Amino acid sequence: MTEKLIIQGGRALEGSVEIAGAKNSALPLIAATLLTDGEILLENVPRLDDVQTMLDMVSELGKSVKNTGSDTVRIAGSVSSNVAPVELVRKMRASFLVLAPLVGRTGRAEVPLPGGCNIGTRPVNLHLEGLKKLGVEINQDDGKIIAEADNLKGNDIFLDYPSVGATEQLLMAAVRARGTTTIYNGAQEPEIRDLASFLTELGADLSLDGSILTATGEKKLGDAEYEVLSDRIAAGTYMIAGVATGGNVEVRSVDPASIKPLSLKLRKAGITVEEGEKTIKVKSNGRPDNLEVITLPFPGFPTDLQAPISSMLTLAEGKSVVKETVFDSRFGHVAELSKMGADISVTNSNTVFIEGTDNLRGTAVEATDIRAGAALVIAGLAGEGRTEVSGLSHLDRGYSQLQSKLESLGATVERVDSDG
């Protein structure tokens, strides 16, 4: 059934919202359970379609997967297959992360090239070149990557770009390799640190020094109980929604350091931001000031908040500029925001120009990816009248219990059949 989200806009969001576990952390953690036959209890696992896809993936590869609570999953058992199902990998790009654990455990892996959001070219060459440095033979056949290695061997790897996915892939390979592996120019995102902490809990020998990650492999990996990191991107989205609607919103159970780039930008825009130990409060002081935003790998401004903050800036005072440097073609929200009366355009240099306006008007719009969908929801909440957001399958991949959390902040939202 195809559904849409009906939003009655113009109400300031007020209140407090609990932030669930991070999808971008849960996915590599679930993939990493393939590295051990031990029993893993993962807590704070978000209820999202992408997370279910990864759980289905490790189940298809032989693992026993049981939900033991609303946000707790038990994963145990051994790997019985090293062939990743096409239909699961094509659903979600992160499914490609099973490549390294499979070749590390079984000596061979057959994984289709990944799918997921259409947000520009995201090649996996950094994954594959790094695995070759560890002794993996890589071949491509009919849209599939076939990786083979009798034994992984530790080595020094330099990443030309600090790719999150490549860093995760290579960390999981490194803990199965003989000797020491050092990854230079690795990603530094909080989700990378979460994966490293989880692997350490399993018994791996890892150390992180900024962008240099070192692992000594061949350690026996066992059991673990582990709580997934809270979702900094979801937290940032609710913060931005609070600002865009002229409200006052607190996000709970989130590390303020993980979302510091956003907090600093909001302060620069004239927003009051108060940080606690595990909370952040934002309070609007009228229309935000214009901003210049450039997305960068962590600790830079996160690409996953580019679309949401662009939505907020359509209501800012003056002219704003947002430059996307991490992904190309991540601008599905621009044309849809224009339908709502935003003065927004994008150039072929991946730069968005925004002239702030007093108000947006509700209309029918469509989400083209997860974060574009969030941007449209924010615009609908802040705009006048009724907004209908379709393409909810994207939002379901990235935002746990979105409707109920927005309602708890005072929003008027309803999810209905598209024919209704």
Q: Find, among 162, 226, 164, the residue nearest to 190 by Cα.
A: 164
Asked if residue 116 and residue 38 are part of one domain, the reply reads: yes
Identify the domain boundary among 200, 227, 254. Answer: 227
Asked if residue 374 and residue 247 are part of one domain, the reply reads: yes
What the block records as the tokens of 149 is 């290695």
**What is the Cβ-side half-sphere exposure of residue 192, based on CA atoms within 13 angstroms?**
28
Asked if residue 279 and residue 189 are part of one domain, the reply reads: no
Asked if residue 236 and residue 357 are part of one domain, the reply reads: yes
Range of the domain at 213: 23-227
Identify the domain boundary among 202, 227, 252. Answer: 227
Distance from the Cα of residue 225 to its chain's centroid: 22
Per-residue pLDDT of the chain (420 residues; tens, 9 = 90+): 689 999 999 999 999 999 999 999 999 999 999 999 999 999 999 999 899 999 999 999 999 999 988 899 999 999 999 999 988 888 887 889 999 999 999 999 999 887 543 434 456 889 999 999 999 999 988 888 999 998 999 999 999 999 999 999 999 999 999 999 999 999 999 999 999 999 999 999 999 999 999 999 977 899 999 999 999 999 999 999 999 999 999 999 999 999 999 999 999 999 999 999 999 999 999 999 999 999 999 999 999 999 999 999 999 999 999 999 998 778 989 999 999 999 999 998 899 999 999 999 999 999 999 999 999 999 999 999 999 999 999 999 889 999 999 999 999 999 998 765
Q: Model-level pTM? A: 0.94
Spatial separation of the C-alpha atoms in residues 282 and 273, rounded to whole Å: 5
Asked if residue 216 and residue 234 are part of one domain, the reply reads: no
Say if residue 162 is preceded by a cis peptide, omega within 30 of 0. Answer: no
Asked if residue 135 and residue 46 are part of one domain, the reply reads: yes
Which residue type sits at 295? Answer: T
Spatial separation of the C-alpha atoms in residues 413 and 394, rounded to whole Å: 17
Active site residue ranges? 117
Asked if residue 247 and residue 217 are part of one domain, the reply reads: no
Tokens 């003065």 — which residue? 343
Contacts of 245 (CB under 8 A, 6+ apart): 11, 12, 13, 284, 381, 382
Partners of 225 in the β-ladder: 41
Spatial separation of the C-alpha atoms in residues 261 and 310, rounded to whole Å: 15
Q: Find, among 94, 108, 82, 100, the residue nearest to 22 by Cα.
A: 94
Spatial separation of the C-alpha atoms in residues 316 and 293, rounded to whole Å: 13
Query: What CATH number does residue 57 fall under?
Result: 3.65.10.10
In the chain, the number of structural domains is: 2
Spatial separation of the C-alpha atoms in residues 28 and 202, rounded to whole Å: 14
Asked if residue 111 and residue 10 are part of one domain, the reply reads: no
Asked if residue 384 and residue 308 are part of one domain, the reply reads: yes
Asked if residue 255 and residue 119 are part of one domain, the reply reads: no
Q: Find, among 349, 393, 387, the residue nearest to 367 by Cα.
A: 393
pLDDT for the residue numbered 328: 79
What the block records as the tokens of 215 is 């692992």
